[in-house]
Structure 1
Amino acid sequence: MSGMWKWLIQGSAVFYVASAILPLLKSDAWWIRGWDFPRLQFAIFGLAAMLLLSFTTPGWPLHKLALVLLLAVSLALDAYRIVPYTPLVRLESLPADSDDPARKLSIFVANVLQDNDDPQPLLRLLAELSPDLVLLLEVNGRWMDELAGLRSSYPHHVGQPLENTYGIALFSRLELIDARVSHLVESDVPSIHGLVSLASGEFVEIHGLHPRPPRPQSGGTTERDAELVLIAREARDSEHPVIVMGDLNDVAWSHTTRLFRRISEMLDPRVGRGHFPTYPVAVPFLRYPLDHVFHSRSLRLVEFKRLPDIGSDHFPVYAEFSLEPEGRLSQESPKADEQDQKEARDTLRRAE
């Protein structure tokens, strides 16, 4: 093997190890948090690097042995992150026991892509699925005009169209109570909150979010993380069953999302089922899950699926739940410890 290939393999190995270890740092710097996203792809890359290093370079000098061990530890870290989102572990969101239609709630979540100029694939999909709630993200004034026809089927609606890719809109067949647009952390990043009244007369609390992603121009993820902490606390303390949904610009296995779930004690339908990657549509081998629907223990899962392409850079997701508070104790939720609570308080202080 030439010296160039040897250095390329070793350099790839070092790159992967760094990509696996950097997310362990509890920093909100964009260039650290960005490593959270394509962990499955990085793990495949790291496994290939370890195999190449082990079987195509001669001998076992100390530096090679150390690098292979670091690769093995890094792969174990990624397995810890990724494996819960495969059928290899037990389900977290248990299947519904009841078939009472009056206690069911179906949800459609889609980042429509503000620059997408063809609403027809979205409208056809909504006509086919006929969900109870439709949360749409990246809607601007043009999109709201295109969606005006939805109001006959969805008489309850609230939202704020914007031209900055953070517009948001919620359409509902069911009555919305105290539905409102809020700006929890940033004045130009709205979110939607309220109660939805089921046909049974019971209420479910809903939160629709689309915080900013980690990126150089934003400097860090403090605002995104703080928004998730605020909603996590509200969900934990609610007297109603809760659903948190949206494009969270974070993956299910990141430290931030796992902290959110421990604080909120909410369940993730992906656990034990699969990744259901939703972004980016155009690059299949780089996809990861950014679009989420989390729920509290009083809700059981009827269905969760990723939907077909609607011309956006995100796939929509569909979830249907059954309200079964009598079975809430059979679903185990994540729990926060004092260190988690301290981290949450620190995050909110940094965002002030």
Structure 2
Amino acid sequence: MRYFYIAIGILSLGMFSSVYISPEHFPYVGLIPFFIPVVWLLNLLLLCIAILSWRKSAFIPLIVLLIGYRFVAITFQLNPKIESTEPTIDVLSYNAHLFDYKRRVTGGPFDPNVFKWIQDHPAGVKVFQEFYNDETSSSRNALKILGDDMGLEYSYQVIDGNPEKRSYGLAIFSKYPILNEGKIFDNQKSNGAIFADILVNQDTIRIYNSHLESMKIDSDLLENIEGVRDNYRQTLGKLHRGSLTRSRQLKVLVEHIRFSPHPVILLGDLNEVPYSYTYFKLSESLVNAFEEAGRGFGFTYNRILFFLRIDHIFSSPELKAVDFKTHREVDYSDHYPVSASFNFE
């Protein structure tokens, strides 16, 4: 029995270490982290069995659980609610699904309440992925509705379409002056990364809005056992190709952040769960707002794979997160918005 415990322990540690290996260097390593919660729970079960059986081998899963404790912290948090006495920088990130998710799913009319919710949210900085703008329609002119009408400055990077008619891309809206802006990369489809330097009082903060390569998984095909059985190979292939592309995009993004002359806040749909190379690579220099101020699981995906947290907010260490929320009451997209509040330390 002890050899079984040792084998599971070695396997678990190998899987834990996979988050430090780029998918560019080891084929399919990007798929391994999806199983990390399973092996962590397996070790917890083995520990309980060993303790109840008075087995000396209980120390093996115990050591594994202690080494893998970080995976608990990035999965579930019980941070106390902090009432900040200092002014905060409030930010919001939303993969808006072209502001048209409900119509696409139900076939009903466009719901303008999505714009009202965004307008009413108090965040001073709001960033959007899969942002859609229609200059020919007063009800779908998002730049006017969310920017001009609200007195906000904005930076909009068109990925596809005609900016004078209909287009979509990435957008940053700010109640603070925008001093500088730029594009980091885009793949001419729906993904990319942009930045904007904003002036907050006398300080400049660099805001990153990033939408890394999508998983491109049709979750509707995975709603039942038959769908999983028929599509698992195709799904694994998409996960592998997606993780490989994201690791290449991440390299460009991390290098850009490294040379930022200002503290940064990185927001966006990274299409990566916390048990991933991308998440751990960003955590080397940035702090995740959910870990610092979140509560619960913070799942952000509004589809059958509801247990995914793929929308993230990171910041430089000198920016202290005092609040983090996943707005699960807002169902205008296949993603839930996430928001955070920061103090300067």
**For this structure pair, what is the TM-score category when the shorter chain's length is used for normalisation?**
0.5 to 0.7
**CA apart distance, 1:205:** 0.8
Q: Does 1:318 align with 2:339?
A: yes
Asked whether the equivalents of residues 140 and 162 of structure 1 are also in contact (C-alpha less than 8 Å), the reply is: no
Which residue of 242, 245, 266 corresponds with 1:223? 245
Trace 1:55-204 onto structure 2 (pairs within 5 A).
Answer: 78-87=68-77, 99-100=86-87, 104-114=88-98, 116=101, 117=103, 118-141=110-133, 145-147=140-142, 148-151=144-147, 152-162=149-159, 167-183=169-185, 186-188=187-189, 189-198=191-200, 200-204=201-205
Trace 1:289-300 onto structure 2 (pairs within 5 A).
Answer: 289-300=309-320
**CA apart distance, 1:212:** 0.7
Instruction: Please give the alpha-carbon distance, in whole angstroms, between the structure 1 residues aligned to 2:22 and 2:198.
Output: 36
Describe the superposition over 1:186-209 as per-residue Cα deviations: whole angstroms up to 9, x where unpaired. Answer: 4543211120112x1321111110
How has the CA–CA distance of structure 1 residues 30 and 122 changed in structure 2, closer, same or farther, with 3 Å as cutoff?
farther
Q: Which residue of 2 aligns with 1:232?
A: 254
How has the CA–CA distance of structure 1 residues 239 and 232 changed in structure 2, closer, same or farther, with 3 Å as cutoff?
same
Instruction: Please give the alpha-carbon distance, in whole angstroms, between the structure 2 residues aligned to 1:125 and 1:20.
Output: 44
Q: Does 1:209 align with 2:172?
A: no
Structure 1 gaps of 5+ residues are 1-9, 55-59, 328-352
Give the TM-score taking structure 2 as reference length.
0.67
Give the TM-score taking structure 1 as reference length.
0.66
**CA apart distance, 1:167:** 2.6
How has the CA–CA distance of structure 1 residues 160 and 272 changed in structure 2, closer, same or farther, with 3 Å as cutoff?
closer
RMSD in angstroms over aligned alpha carbons?
Answer: 4.3
Which residue of 298, 311, 324 corresponds with 1:277? 298
Describe the superposition over 1:125-164 as per-residue Cα deviations: whole angstroms up to 9, x where unpaired. Answer: 2233222111111224459935241121143122234569
**CA apart distance, 1:38:** 6.7
Q: Which amino acid aligns with 2:241?
A: G
**CA apart distance, 1:280:** 2.5
**CA apart distance, 1:17:** 9.2
Instruction: Please give the alpha-carbon distance, in whole angstroms, between the structure 2 residues aligned to 1:78 and 1:283.
Output: 28
**CA apart distance, 1:30:** 7.7
Asked whether the equivalents of residues 172 and 196 of structure 2 are also in contact (C-alpha less than 8 Å), the reply is: no
Instruction: Please give the alpha-carbon distance, in whole angstroms, between the structure 1 residues aligned to 2:38 and 2:298.
Output: 12
Instruction: Please give the alpha-carbon distance, in whole angstroms, between the structure 1 residues aligned to 2:17 and 2:342.
Output: 34
How has the CA–CA distance of structure 1 residues 219 and 86 changed in structure 2, closer, same or farther, with 3 Å as cutoff?
closer
Asked whether the equivalents of residues 155 and 172 of structure 1 are also in contact (C-alpha less than 8 Å), the reply is: yes
Which residue of 266, 276, 282 corresponds with 2:286? 266
| Identity across the alignment (%) | 18
Asked whether the equivalents of residues 30 and 220 of structure 1 are also in contact (C-alpha less than 8 Å), the reply is: no
Instruction: Please give the alpha-carbon distance, in whole angstroms, between the structure 1 residues aligned to 2:242 and 2:85.
Output: 44
Asked whether the equivalents of residues 23 and 33 of structure 1 are also in contact (C-alpha less than 8 Å), the reply is: no
Asked whether the equivalents of residues 300 and 310 of structure 2 are also in contact (C-alpha less than 8 Å), the reply is: yes
How has the CA–CA distance of structure 1 residues 266 and 51 changed in structure 2, closer, same or farther, with 3 Å as cutoff?
closer
Asked whether the equivalents of residues 281 and 314 of structure 1 are also in contact (C-alpha less than 8 Å), the reply is: yes
Instruction: Please give the alpha-carbon distance, in whole angstroms, between the structure 2 residues aligned to 1:208 and 1:303.
Output: 19
Asked whether the equivalents of residues 292 and 321 of structure 2 are also in contact (C-alpha less than 8 Å), the reply is: no
Bigger proportion of residues as strand: 2
Instruction: Please give the alpha-carbon distance, in whole angstroms, between the structure 2 residues aligned to 1:15 and 1:210.
Output: 36
Instruction: Please give the alpha-carbon distance, in whole angstroms, between the structure 1 residues aligned to 2:35 and 2:338.
Output: 19
Describe the superposition over 1:25-50 as per-residue Cα deviations: whole angstroms up to 9, x where unpaired. Answer: 425178431342474466457756x5
**CA apart distance, 1:97:** 6.3
**CA apart distance, 1:221:** 2.6
**CA apart distance, 1:276:** 4.2
How has the CA–CA distance of structure 1 residues 40 and 313 changed in structure 2, closer, same or farther, with 3 Å as cutoff?
farther
